[in-house]
Structure 1
């Protein structure tokens, strides 16, 4: 009954084929819940109200009272339920109506979404509830603050999530867009792309590279030439792990001598995206000062270089479909193309 109603709503709004639904998405950070344990966010075109009950349980409801569609987030929390501020209907975390002063409550309900908390991230399941399996949430690792310097941030992208994923899957752009991170060796690198268990993995190996001064300080390479490996692992629909490994030419790359950054894109609408990023450096490889400088540089790059470029791309594409424009394909596009194809297959399989 619920799944049929959801699909009818999606067909009416033309959203059904745009998003993969039976999968986990990041809805936000745990720290984003306000002092009243509430967070409101639009995900996949739907307004979601997230709250924590008095006993600490995390809940997510469609932010819309079924009576006159007032936002439930304007109401107040009462124990394990939220009371609509307009006419007083109350709904618990399962979406069931707990109170109706105006008549029977049995037929009244609000859509509820499975939601869990893991490593400081709020993961929400936007599809059929009984298909939600917590075990399928990606385990990114390297987030233990006792072993790693960890910093996280958020950007609001004025671009489709697929376009933002392309940017991470093809890191050849860092030579040109990011002077703090790139060198001429980037475009000359050996690139390997493969698919494995539904993931797309892109490896870019630069040999004999003298790193930019900031990175050389963080990775403790000095002015000597080193090998640098950039590995991106794409998890559908749009979560990526970027691992940077640095090694001397006579040794194998050890990730702990580099860094890891999570790039997680959750569609807000078909044309806007929530961008969550989490960077980590091993504490035994970098001190506090080096870590702070590294994270500040990343935030500067994401905010002043990546975001303006991708937003401008999206504005230029406008209402046209990316594939319909027949973009020129270069060898560097293999990773993004494979990820787009895999995502399209998964979405079509749900329809």
Structure 2
């Protein structure tokens, strides 16, 4: 019995020690406004912890005045003297600071929350706080909060871009126009692990005559021209005489006058009546199988099998994208436990190239 009491005492002591040293979050300051601002469990201070999940999402002891601090949304709060974001004091004008329609500003600057430092607001260069507003409040989807304007400029994802703020309008994910020009919206450059988010809006072409409307999130029709921005040139304008039919297939692919267009490139050799999108970037028609609409040569239609987002095989060959890996053995070709590495019992491969061989 004595041993049992000792064990229980030790367990209680361990629990209290863990509670004292690890559980730092007490009651929420105002749960109706934020579930990320708390009173400290032991100390007289304010704690910021996203959704109270301090163990996984972090924990910050703020220097806010405890008696006067109040959150006014999930991440923002204020005390008698300062504005706080993620628990950290911000260098803003206290008296004129406001948040409205996702616009964060004071009398001096407009700010955004995607800066180089995760807990400091960053100034949007050149933005006029007096006239800064949503570009088009009628946009209902996610793009509504990507586009803003002031009296002089257009802003996309917190960056000033080319365009007339009085007539500028985005048409989809790829193309925008104003009264005088067509613009390409470039979200990313590069491929795979080398992909970079750039969020550039680039003036590409003088506006052309004709009715303007978006076909899908990638393509725009202006008169008898089809416009997109996903080739290496980051802009394609293909003119037909005239456009008689337009069919949407998926985000990257449409058919115009029985000609297939994929990522801005025309593929007249593909039979659109039998065209079918397969997994990943693979597709087929009655004549062949394709990767990114590029024909896979010598493919055996009956035994063809997709084995990853870049690799496929049939009874005779293994393919990387649309290229035959001549040395690879299709019957034994498989992925290893190492990311991006494949093997067939004779060689190991990465991005379609042999990187090692068994002796």
Q: When the two structures are superposed, what TM-score results if normalisation uses the length of structure 2? A: 0.21
Larger radius of gyration: 2
More RCO (CA 8 Å, sep 6+):
1
Q: Answer 1 or 2: which has greater helix percent.
A: 1
